[in-house]
């Protein structure tokens, strides 16, 4: 069986995972939690522990970095092995994600060839769409179905840490180029990801290395939402929420990924987003400094908990499952997340 054959039938299995009969302590609760977990892995071959977790339904997706997939053929073989493990346990197919932004940030040696900054210099939505389509065709042929791109942040200066990962310092231009890339990518049936909501354009440092608080005035932050608004109108399948704190949107300073005011209030209610919300890496200093991080993220409205390592994803899964069994993570919250994940997987099953 090919890695994605029977995808539609397998996707139906997820509906059984969050059937109304589910209750804390039931076997299906473990799979409900598992569908929300995206894990990284070490090396180019999966460990026996990872394969066992996938078969048991404790993992809903994987993220690859360049060290995992040195060539397209290696990536395709690895994906096949992981998808077979998911199928062997009667689980829906895994989401398979990479950061294939273009330029220097590419996990595989293929399109998009141009960085976002290069596309910004060209200023052509048609070229951005063509780059997205080329990337989508390339990734889909390998078995990757989620591209964690494009970056829709609007930097405040050329010195912003994002470098050539952002299109330009003009939010309106970014609001034309980003959705064009999304349209191209998704026309090849690879899901695009608008990141890093609500924007890292004024961040003083990378959230991967520091707990960042953004004190930019609300009016400025609102203006920088334009690319995200446009991507949402264009049907982007995923939105990645950042690990920075935004006091203008949530005075508590909670990292956006843990903030109900930002995820549920701003993204879902005000901007009307109905698709899948994925966290940025939860091992980062901002979110990891809080107790019960996965529970807080899911309760805020996040659907997919992204971890870059096997050990941290296993710990995150265990923490979320314990909260679900204790009742502090409501069953309805998990059911809603699973419904959105199921809808994404069903869309991906259509060619």
211, 220, 264, 290: the active-site residue: 211
What are 283-341's pLDDT values in tens digits? 999 999 998 999 999 999 999 999 999 999 999 999 999 999 999 999 999 999 999 99
Kindly tell me if the per-residue pLDDT of 20 is higher than 50: no
Residue 22 lies in a domain: no
pLDDT at 205: 87
Residue 47 lies in a domain: yes
Give 309: exposed, middle or buried? Use CB within 10 Å, 0-12, 13-18, 19+.
Answer: middle
Give 62: exposed, middle or buried? Use CB within 10 Å, 0-12, 13-18, 19+.
Answer: buried
pLDDT grade, residue 22 (50/70/90)?
very low
pLDDT at 157: 83
Residue 106 lies in a domain: yes
Inter-axis angle of helices 331-349 and 7-17, to 10 degrees?
170
The question of whether 280 is a catalytic residue gets the answer yes
pLDDT grade, residue 177 (50/70/90)?
very high
* List of residues 6+ apart from 269 with CB closer than 8 A: none
pLDDT grade, residue 47 (50/70/90)?
very high
Q: What is the CATH number of the domain that holds 342?
A: 3.20.20.300
145, 164, 280, 303: the active-site residue: 280
pLDDT at 351: 64
Residue 345 lies in a domain: yes
Mean pLDDT of all residues in the chain? 92
CA–CA gap between residue 154 and residue 170 (Å, rounded): 7
User: Rounded to two decimals, what is the model's pTM?
Assistant: 0.92
pLDDT at 102: 93
What are 93-102's pLDDT values in tens digits? 999 999 999 9
Largest CA distance in the chain: 55
* List of residues 6+ apart from 241 with CB closer than 8 A: 196, 197, 198, 256, 257, 262, 263, 267, 277, 278, 279, 280, 302
Residue 181 lies in a domain: yes
Residue 17 lies in a domain: no
pLDDT grade, residue 158 (50/70/90)?
confident
> For 157-185, what is the mean pLDDT?
94
Q: Which domain holds residue 145?
A: 7-11+29-349
Looking at the structure of the chain, the number of domains it has is: 1
Residue 24 lies in a domain: no
- Reading the block at residue 97, the tokens are 């994600």
> For 260-277, what is the mean pLDDT?
98
Kindly tell me if the per-residue pLDDT of 259 is higher than 90: yes
The question of whether 264 is a catalytic residue gets the answer no
Residue 218 lies in a domain: yes
């Amino acid at each position: 069986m090919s890695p994605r054959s029977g995808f539609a039938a397998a996707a139906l299995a997820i509906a059984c995972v969050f059937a109304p009969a589910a209750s804390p302590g039931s076997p299906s609760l473990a799979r409900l939690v598992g569908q929300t977990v995206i894990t990284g892995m070490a090396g180019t071959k999966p460990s026996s522990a990872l394969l066992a977790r996938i078969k048991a339904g404790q993992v809903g997706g994987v993220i690859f970095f360049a060290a995992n997939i040195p060539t397209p053929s290696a990536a395709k073989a690895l994906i096949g092995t992981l998808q077979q493990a998911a199928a062997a346990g009667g689980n829906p197919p895994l989401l398979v994600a990479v950061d294939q932004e273009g330029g220097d940030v590419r996990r595989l040696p293929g399109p998009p060839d141009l960085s976002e900054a290069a596309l910004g210099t060209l200023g052509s939505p048609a070229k951005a769409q063509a780059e997205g389509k080329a990337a989508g065709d390339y990734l889909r042929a390998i078995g990757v179905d989620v591209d964690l791109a494009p970056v829709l942040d609007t930097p405040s200066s050329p010195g912003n840490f994002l470098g050539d990962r952002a299109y330009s310092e003009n939010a309106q231009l970014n609001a034309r180029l980003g959705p064009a890339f999304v349209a191209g990518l998704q026309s090849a049936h690879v899901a695009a990801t608008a990141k890093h909501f609500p924007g890292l354009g004024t961040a003083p440092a990378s959230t991967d290395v520091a707990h960042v608080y953004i004190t930019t005035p609300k009016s400025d932050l609102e203006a920088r939402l334009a690319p995200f608004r446009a991507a949402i109108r264009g049907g982007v399948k995923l939105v990645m929420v950042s690990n920075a704190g935004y006091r203008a949107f949530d005075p508590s300073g909670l990292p956006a990924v843990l903030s109900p005011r930002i995820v549920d209030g701003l993204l879902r209610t005000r901007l009307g987003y109905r698709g899948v919300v994925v966290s940025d890496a939860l091992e980062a200093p901002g979110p990891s400094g809080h107790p019960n991080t996965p529970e807080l993220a899911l309760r805020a409205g996040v659907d997919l908990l992204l971890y870059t390592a096997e050990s941290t994803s296993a710990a995150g899964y265990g923490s979320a499952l314990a909260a679900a069994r204790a009742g502090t993570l409501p069953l309805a919250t998990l059911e809603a997340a699973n419904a959105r994940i199921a809808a994404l997987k069903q869309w991906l099953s259509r060619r």
